Amino acid sequence: MATIDADAQGAPELRAQPAAEAAVPAVTGDPSLIGLPSFIVGSVALGLVLVGYVPAAAVGASIPVIVAATGLGLVIAAVWAAAVGQSAVAGVFGIFAGFWLSYGMLVLGLTHNWFAIVAADALHTQGVFLISWLVVIGMLTLATLRLPIAYTVLFVLIEIALVLVLIGTLQQSAGTLKVAGVVVFVFAAVGVYLFFSSASQATGGKALPLGQPLLHS
């Protein structure tokens, strides 16, 4: 680009003017449009395993979905949320990415003996995993009390499912694990509702009712 200025004698002078650098567009959007479907598909896959859709020996049937879709999708959603300044959302998606990826690692590690854990200790190894995540999900549940109640319901259901899976695993109770699978389907349905709310806003509509938070202060 160039400008024409007059010199001291009034003669026009051509001066080069560097082009303005194009502004980098800010990252925008709603990361839950990736995070929620990623969470939902892994939950459905896990629920199907827990209710016995596949034999107990085929516990790894859900791993391709959980690792490649849920784990990866939640990592992407967490990065996106951080980029748009949604720290709480990024934290939740990042933590759940850790949950699902570590679950995949647990199942693959135990079934392929990656960790040199003898069969007699496999049961309590799963207990370590479940108890550890019960603590973290319980922490997240308390942290959602200032959010619309739909989010608190989601986390409470996840906590209940983890308790049931822990009991069913330690007691080797297929019935308890099936109940846990049903609860997993229920919290997946809550996730679907939350996704429809986000999708409605993203397509020009209104958010769905999510309820009042339990804590207002």
Output the pLDDT for position 23: 56
Walk along the chain (217 residues) in steps of 10 and give the mean pLDDT of each run.
46 48 68 98 97 90 97 98 96 98 97 92 96 97 95 98 97 96 98 98 95 89
Tokens of 85: 């300044």
- Of the candidates 31, 86, 12, 10, the one whose C-alpha atom is nearest the C-alpha of residue 2 is 12
Range 141-174 burial, b when 16+ CB lie within 10 A, else e: beebeebbebbbbbbbbbbbbbbbbbebbeeeee
| pTM for this model (two decimals) | 0.86
SS (H, E, C) 149-174: HHHHHHHHHHHHHHHHHHHHHHCCCH
Is-contact 43 192, C-beta < 8 A? no
Output the pLDDT for position 5: 46
- Of the candidates 98, 31, 26, the one whose C-alpha atom is nearest the C-alpha of residue 67 is 98
C-alpha distances out from residue 176 to 117, 121, 158, 179, 191, Å? 25, 21, 15, 5, 23
What H or E segment, with its residue span, contains residue 188?
helix 174-202
Listing DSSP states for 98-116 in one string gives: HHHHHHHHHHHHHHTTTT-
